[in-house]
Structure 1
Amino acid sequence: MTLATLLITAGRITSKEQLVAELWIAQPPRRASAAVHVYLSQLRKFLVSAGDHEGQAIATKPSGYMFRFHGAGYDVSDFQALIRTGRAHHHEGRHEAALEAFERALLLVRGPVLDGMAEGPALSAIATWAEEERLGCIELCVEARTALGRHREVISLLRGLIEEYPLRESFYRQLMLVLYRSERQAEALRVYRSAQQVLRAELGLEPCRSLRRLHQAILTSDSLLDLPLAG
């Protein structure tokens, strides 16, 4: 967790107090400061054995420690850059290029970020953020495929996502739209009723405004739903 904490703050100073908070949360040992020094020493040795021959990856500063990449790649940065590229293509109507960028971004996600170690406040926050970014990227992939008219490709994907994330209304919205555009209006309406039942049971809430509007548009076969960028 020492390395993970330094990685998520790479290029910025991490104080000793922050490291203690991530390593032991609210119950640090009496000699937590000494233990941090030991962990950092062990980490430096590991990094040297892994290729940091000058031992400069972790710099000691007056107020803490800083991890430096020295030109090494960082999947998080690449992921964010690809999302930005994909969004730009999407807004310009270049949906094939957008889809390629989004799919390349998802290939960088090899599993849950910090799986099994995200217990401290900063690590928990970055793990939550990473999962939200991944789901957002999946939504963008679906939007790009939908804009390209490839509706049937995403139906099974969206059904699985709804099963896994039953409170994420955007997946219901996307599934309703692609079912409607696949000439499966009745199924699209059943998806809305399912979302309504889940949200009422779990949260005591009605579906969000955009989901209700889409439901009404499907009921009336609104011609706007036939436009490539409708959502």
Structure 2
Amino acid sequence: MKYQVLGPVRLVDGGTSHIIRAQKIETALAALLVCPNRVVSTKQLISEIWDEEPPLRAVAALHVYISQLRKLLSRFGAPAGPIVTQAPGYLLRVDPADVDYLVFQEHVRTGRTLLMRERCEDAKAVFERALGLWRGPMLSGLTLGPVGRSLVARVEETRVECLEMDVEARLILGRHREVVSPLYGLINDYPLNEVFYEQLMRALYGSDRRADALGVYRMAWETLDRELGLEPGRKLREVQRTILARDAGRVRVAG
């Protein structure tokens, strides 16, 4: 049994995918997957399922949901007894290799190490595998409690880092043209992320589109000023200065 949460929650048994149609049971599973192989207290589970508005008989309702979830996992092919009752709550026993967000995080760690060792082709392949695990926003369709929201935020930050490193590996490999279009899309999705502006400037300059590269700097300046009242950071300014200096050098040589 594999657990997929990088998108809507999905259970995969062999080649067959299953979804959980009862949202409270789905949220209970998500809350256990947030802390795999660790005890999640009854109090925390109630907070994750109902946030700040639990019903009067929340503990009894939780017991029912856990019982139904156990039956569901057994029917879908999970190993016997993956959910263990252990004070002060419950524990979901899983192999980390069977949980997609844990696999994603491991891929990112591996890719980061490969990139630092300048094994860019290998790093790019690992980043592609990591990003290929995503089917949409993590745990989409669920109303999460504080722990779930915190995990989603952390994993999304890791996804952005993975996107940045994937582009960086391609730039180092000289694949400037192939990242231009994706970078415009990433800037549209993350308009305050200066790394993507800086990478797009380098990609355009490496594609002999110097004017467009400088136009991206102006776009970044206008966006950051309008949204945050800030100027571009050091790396963006350095890329702009480098482009201007190289162009000035070309003009002197030509003259």
TM-score (norm 1): 0.91
Tell me how far 1:198 sits from its aligned partner.
0.7
Residue 76 of structure 1 aligns to a residue whose secondary structure is helix
Instruction: Give the CA deviation at 1:42.
Output: 0.8
Runs of 4+ in 1 over 4 A off after TM superposition: none
Match of 2:199 in 1: 174
Which residue is equivalent to 2:33?
7
SS in 2 for 1:10: coil
Deviation of 1:70 (Å) = 5.2
Separation in structure 2 between the aligned mates of residue 207 and residue 40 of structure 1, nearest angstrom: 50
Alpha-carbon distance between aligned partners in 2 of 1:153 and 1:52, rounded to the nearest angstrom: 42
1:220 partner SS: helix
Match of 1:19 among 38, 45, 50: 45
- 1:45 maps to what in 2? 71
Structure 2 residue 111 is the aligned partner of structure 1 residue 86: yes
1:77 CA displacement: 2.3
Of 198-207 and 129-138, the range deviating more from structure 2: 129-138
- Quote the Cα distance in structure 1 between the aligned partners of 2:50 and 2:163: 34
SS of the residue aligned with 2:90?
strand
Are positions 1:203 and 2:228 aligned together?
Answer: yes
- 3-state SS of 2:85 partner: strand
User: What is the DSSP-based 3-state SS (H/G/I as helix, E as strand, rest coil) of the residue aligned with 1:221?
Assistant: helix
Counterpart check, 1:156 vs 2:206: no
Q: 2: CA distance between counterparts of 1:131 and 1:200?
A: 25
Work out the CA distance in 2 between the residues paired with 1:181 and 1:149.
8
Q: Give the match for residue 111 of structure 1.
A: 136
Match of 2:152 among 127, 133, 152: 127
Alignment partner of 2:59 out of 28, 33, 40: 33
- Please, which runs of 5 or more residues in structure 1 have no aligned partner? 223-231
Moved more, 80-89 or 146-155: 80-89
Q: Does structure 1 conserve the Cα–Cα contact (< 8 Å) formed by 2:28 and 2:65?
A: yes
Q: TM-score, normalised by structure 2?
A: 0.83
Distance 1:43 1:203, change over 3 A: same
- Provide, for residues 178-202 of structure 1, a one-character-per-residue CA deviation record: whole Å limited to 9, x for no partner: 1111111111111011011011111
Q: RMSD of aligned C-alpha atoms?
A: 1.5
Query: Which structure would you say has the larger RCO, counting Cα contacts within 8 Å and 6 or more residues apart?
Result: 2
SS of the residue 1:173 aligns to: helix
Q: Is the 8 A contact 1:57 1:70 kept in 2?
A: no
Residues matched between the structures, number: 221
The verdict on how the C-alpha distance between 1:118 and 1:133 changes in structure 2, with shifts beyond 3 A counting, is farther
